[in-house]
């Protein structure tokens, strides 16, 4: 550890040197009587050694001495870096105007005392010199302390004489700007000409305000031109010195390089308003710009703008099948394509997830927004190469126009979102312009969701059963359980209306399991009530969301156990989307379901995205042809080819085929000719309540043969 330096005892003493003992003793006595601590030397050499060792406050020396006289002693003291500021009083019988006296003053003496002298005059001169020495020492210590603090803070110093306009710039001040000593002049213009033009007037105003007494001190952040051509951020601080009349005549201060701090602040500010993944503006920045657009539209009737809300289609499939890193790459690529297609002044933002928004400013009419949406669709449909994977994507776009007269930015953003959802319902890669009826529809959907959440506990659901008929025997082979919602105010609500809401909110998990338990329990009761009948099967739909839950197998097993329904009488219907979630995981779960003894049917086949090349990997028992393909049969021309292809595919994979939506005799005859095993549709029977189903089964038990297909 470093020890603090010890102060010399002589630093508060007066050093007296004279080669005449009597004069030396007299002077020592006078000084001690006045309260001074005195050091004595008998010649110049001894005095120099004593001064170098003790650092006296003042040196009093006789001029005429052997070896080193008083004048030479003065020169040597001034040549010593530690003693050069020590006041020297020369004592001599010569008058001040004499040549030797002048020589002594030129050698650095601070004053002369003519001999003979009285004690009072000696003390007066010594007192003045000691006070000045102490004052100068205090000034030096203060300056050293400030300089040390400035060096420690890495600051540059400046000192401006307002009377002459000259400025002292420290070495550090100059080096901050890339200059050496001597390369920058000592005038105010050298400072001001390097200030950024955008900051110059403000800096001058701040300085003048402080000089005029408008502030206690001057402080301002501004940019300065570096020698390398770049601009650095500086913090300049200072304070004026005023005369007795209050007029400023000097201003001094410091300059601190705050470039790194400003860059860090800029980074933080940028990060606060930009998306970390894509670098695009985030929701906060988008809403700020949208607010300005709304306010501008209020003030100017000729100003219009539009908001486009974009949501990627099937982005979850990319994430689930290729991984989140590929999903992130896709989002970055989408952001890049969107930004590249924008006009100057437009804003593209990522709102979160796979949602983006676009603010189109100053548009002439709605066609501008529609054409922009079309260009976006064209850009996004191009394949993207992501880490070795070729990925195709599309998006659903909603457009809201300011011509409706929005008062708040939240409202136009909401309406563009509503339009986007309407576009998504219409199919992939669609766009929709918002109209006011959509908002009413959205409000109705929100109420539907609220009611649906209540229904989960109040059990307003009921199940209908639509017969599935064997096309070989024309007899009913089983039923599909179809859920209905008996709304207390609206009456019967069909699945097409509330199932999408249940899917989106996650309520489908509870709804699916309620339907499965209720259908299994009712089918088990029917088996018990009509034991003579061959056990009929029941088909129940499972949402793709069920396969993201690890307890699905246990739940199905528990329901079969609780209801007593034999697993062979249960058929679970899944959609093609299930096969795309996570093929390995889904395959394991399907295999476990098969191990329970249930059958697995692929519903609405042909409308999804499953690949025929890996369909055989899954333990599927039957394919259900979507009603859209069945409806084409008999609609003029030969429109049965798709159905024929699906039947052939299923049979080649060892699967049965069930045709949905059979409505006409012609469709029935064609399906039989194609070798389709089962049919389902209104040609046979509409969905039946449990009471109607029991009546039918009871009549068949009485020999009325109502299990034959129910058609006229």
**Residue 651 confidence (pLDDT) above 90:** yes
Beta strands 166-169 and 218-225 are unpaired
Cβ atoms of 256 and 238 within 8 Å: the answer is no
pLDDT digits (tens, 9 = 90+) for 490-513: 888 888 888 888 887 788 898 999
Q: What is the pLDDT of residue 5?
A: 39
**Residue 341 confidence (pLDDT) above 90:** no
When pLDDT is averaged across residues 204-228 and rounded to a whole number, the result is: 95
When pLDDT is averaged across residues 435-461 and rounded to a whole number, the result is: 74
Instruction: Work out whether the CA dihedral 62, 65, 67, 69 comes out positive or negative.
Output: positive
Q: What is the mean pLDDT of the chain?
A: 88
570 versus 422: which is more confidently predicted?
Answer: 570
When pLDDT is averaged across residues 145-167 and rounded to a whole number, the result is: 80
For the ranges 162-171, 271-280, 457-466, the lowest mean pLDDT is seen at: 457-466
Q: What is the pLDDT of residue 578?
A: 83
Give CA–CA dist 328/324, Å, rounded.
6
Q: What is the pLDDT of residue 48?
A: 93
Name the band, by pLDDT with cuts 50, 70 and 90, for residue 178. very high
240 versus 712: which is more confidently predicted?
Answer: 240
When pLDDT is averaged across residues 126-138 and rounded to a whole number, the result is: 86
Give CA–CA dist 361/119, Å, rounded.
93
Q: What is the pLDDT of residue 195?
A: 97
Q: What is the pLDDT of residue 611?
A: 52
Give CA–CA dist 697/475, Å, rounded.
12
Q: Tell me the three state secondary structure of residue 631.
A: coil
When pLDDT is averaged across residues 379-393 and rounded to a whole number, the result is: 88
Q: pLDDT above 90 covers what percent of the chain?
A: 58
- What is the spatial order of strands in the sheet that 248-257 belongs to? 166-169, 156-161, 248-257, 231-242, 218-225
Q: What is the pLDDT of residue 1?
A: 38
pLDDT digits (tens, 9 = 90+) for 26-41: 999 999 999 999 999 9
Name the band, by pLDDT with cuts 50, 70 and 90, for residue 153. low
pLDDT digits (tens, 9 = 90+) for 231-269: 999 999 999 999 888 899 999 999 999 999 999 999 988
Whether omega for the bond prior to residue 116 falls within 30 degrees of 0, making it cis, is yes
pLDDT digits (tens, 9 = 90+) for 399-408: 999 998 999 9
Cβ atoms of 87 and 133 within 8 Å: the answer is yes
pLDDT digits (tens, 9 = 90+) for 77-95: 999 988 988 999 999 876 6
Instruction: Work out whether the CA dihedral 488, 490, 493, 499 comes out positive or negative.
Output: negative
Q: Which residues of 255-270 are buried (b: 16+ CB within 10 A; e: fewer)?
A: bbbebeebeeeeeeee
- In degrees, rounded to 5, the angle at the alpha carbon of residue 115 between the alpha carbons of residues 114 and 120 is 80
Q: What is the pLDDT of residue 146?
A: 66
Q: Which residues of 118-130 are buried (b: 16+ CB within 10 A; e: fewer)?
A: eeeebbebbeebb
Domains along the sequence of the chain with CATH? 14-148 (3.40.50.2300), 154-263 (3.30.450.20), 274-434 (3.30.70.270), 449-698 (3.20.20.450)
Q: What is the pLDDT of residue 619?
A: 93
Give CA–CA dist 32/250, Å, rounded.
42
């Amino acid at each position: 550890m470093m020890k603090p330096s010890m102060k010399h005892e002589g630093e508060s003493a007066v050093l007296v040197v004279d080669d005449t003992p009597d004069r030396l003793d007299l002077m020592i006595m006078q000084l001690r009587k006045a309260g001074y601590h005195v050091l004595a030397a008998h010649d110049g050499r001894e005095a120099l050694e004593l001064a170098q060792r003790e650092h006296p406050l003042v040196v009093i020396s006789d001029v005429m001495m052997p070896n080193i006289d008083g004048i030479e002693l003065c020169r040597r003291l001034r040549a010593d870096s530690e003693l050069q500021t020590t006041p020297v009083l020369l004592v001599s019988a010569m008058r001040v105007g004499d040549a030797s006296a002048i020589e002594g003053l030129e050698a650095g003496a601070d004053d002369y005392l003519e001999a003979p002298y009285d004690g009072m005059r000696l003390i007066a001169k010594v007192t003045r010199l000691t006070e000045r020495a102490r004052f100068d020492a205090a000034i030096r210590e203060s300056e050293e302390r400030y300089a040390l603090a400035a060096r420690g803070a890495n600051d540059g110093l400046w000192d401006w004489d307002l009377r002459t306009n000259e400025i002292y710039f420290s070495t550090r001040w100059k080096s901050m700007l890339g200059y050496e000593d001597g390369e920058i002049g000592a005038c105010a213009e050298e400072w001001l000409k390097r200030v950024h033009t955008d900051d110059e007037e403000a800096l001058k105003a701040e300085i003048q305000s402080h000089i005029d007494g408008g502030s206690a001190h001057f402080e301002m952040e501004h940019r300065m031109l570096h020698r390398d051509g770049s601009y650095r951020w500086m913090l300049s601080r200072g304070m004026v010195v005023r005369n007795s009349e209050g007029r400023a005549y000097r201003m001094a201060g410091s300059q601190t390089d705050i470039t790194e701090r400003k860059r860090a602040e800029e980074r933080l500010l940028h990060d606060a308003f930009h998306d970390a993944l894509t670098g695009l503006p985030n929701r906060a920045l988008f809403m700020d710009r949208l607010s300005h657009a709304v306010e501008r539209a209020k003030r100017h009737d000729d100003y219009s703008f539009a908001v486009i809300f974009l949501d990627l289609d099937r982005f979850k499939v990319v994430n689930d099948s290729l991984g989140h890193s590929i999903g992130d790459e896709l989002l970055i690529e989408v952001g890049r394509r969107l930004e590249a297609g924008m006009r100057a002044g437009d804003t593209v933002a990522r709102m979160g997830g796979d949602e983006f928004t676009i603010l189109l400013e100053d548009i002439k009419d709605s066609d501008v927004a529609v054409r922009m949406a079309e260009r976006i669709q064209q850009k996004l449909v191009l394949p993207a190469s992501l880490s070795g994977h070729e990925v195709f994507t599309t998006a659903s776009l909603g457009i809201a126009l300011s011509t409706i007269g929005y008062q708040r930015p939240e409202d136009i953003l909401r309406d563009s979102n509503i339009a986007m959802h309407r576009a998504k319902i219409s199919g992939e890669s669609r766009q929709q312009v918002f109209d006011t009826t959509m908002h009413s529809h959205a409000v109705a959907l929100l109420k539907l969701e609220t009611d649906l959440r209540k229904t989960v506990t109040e059990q307003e659901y009921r199940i209908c059963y639509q017969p599935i008929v064997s096309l070989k025997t024309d007899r009913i082979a089983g039923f599909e359980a179809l859920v209905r919602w008996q709304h207390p105010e609206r009456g019967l609500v069909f699945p097409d209306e509330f199932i999408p809401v249940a899917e989106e909110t996650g309520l489908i998990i509870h709804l699916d399991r309620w339907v499965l338990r209720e259908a299994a329990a009712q089918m088990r009761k029917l088996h018990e009530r009509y034991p003579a009948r061959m056990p009929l099967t029941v088909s129940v739909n499972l949402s793709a969301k069920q396969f993201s839950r690890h307890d699905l197998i246990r739940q199905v097993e528990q329901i079969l156990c609780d209801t007593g329904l034999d697993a062979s009488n249960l058929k679970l219907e899944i959609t093609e989307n299930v096969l795309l979630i996570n093929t390995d995981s889904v395959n394991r779960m399907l295999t476990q379901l098969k191990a329970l003894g249930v059958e697995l049917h692929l519903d609405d086949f042909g409308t999804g995205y499953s690949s025929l090349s890996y369909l055989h990997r899954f333990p599927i028992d039957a394919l259900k042809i979507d009603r859209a393909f069945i409806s084409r049969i008999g609609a003029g021309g030969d429109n049965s080819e798709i159905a024929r292809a699906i039947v052939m595919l299923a049979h080649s994979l060892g699967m049965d085929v069930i045709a949905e939506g059979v409505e006409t005799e012609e469709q029935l005859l064609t399906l039989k000719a194609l070798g389709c095993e089962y049919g389902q549709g209104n040609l046979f029977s509409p969905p039946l309540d449990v009471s109607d189903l029991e009546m039918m089964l009871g009549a068949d038990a009485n020999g009325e043969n109502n299990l034959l297909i129910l058609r006229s």
